[in-house]
Amino acid sequence: MITVMNMKKITKGLSRSLSVPEELLEKIPVVTLREKGNLWVENHNGVLSYGETCMMIACKREILCVRGKGLHIKAMGKKILHLCGCIESVQWE
């Protein structure tokens, strides 16, 4: 029987073998903010709401709320979302 602890050990071993971060295998959201105007969200589940001042992004267990000015989606794929604009705050809700 596979338990949560066994899955974590399997995921950890697999990530080492494949040389990839554990987060990618577990579908844990990874948020990267660079240069104050570029934000990447990996392993997202889609955009819930979209506006120039607020974006709500669905993730595995929570919602990521990005607030700012002139927010827009620069690129969006199945796994990675790239937002641009004057980002003022990023919060989990």
Q: Residue 1: pLDDT band by 50, 70, 90 thresholds?
A: very low
31 belongs to a structural domain? yes
Give the whole-angstrom CA distance, residue 14 versus residue 11: 5
Is 11 part of any domain? no
Cβ density class 46-74: b for 16+ within 10 Å, e for less: eeeeeeeeebebbbeeeebbbbbeebeee
Domain count, the chain: 1
pLDDT on residue 27: 72
Please check the confidence at residue 81 and state whether its pLDDT lies above 50.
yes
Which residue's entry shows tokens 């579908």? 27
In a domain, 56, yes or no: yes
Q: pLDDT: is 44 or 13 the higher one?
A: 44
Exposed, middle or buried: residue 1 (CB in 10 Å: 0-12, 13-18, 19+)?
A: exposed
pLDDT for 34-71, tens place per residue? 887 899 998 899 999 999 999 999 998 889 999 999 99
Q: Which class for 11: exposed (0-12), middle (13-18), buried (19 or more C-beta within 10 A)? A: middle
Any domain includes 17: no
Per the structure, the complete domain to which residue 72 belongs is given by 27-92
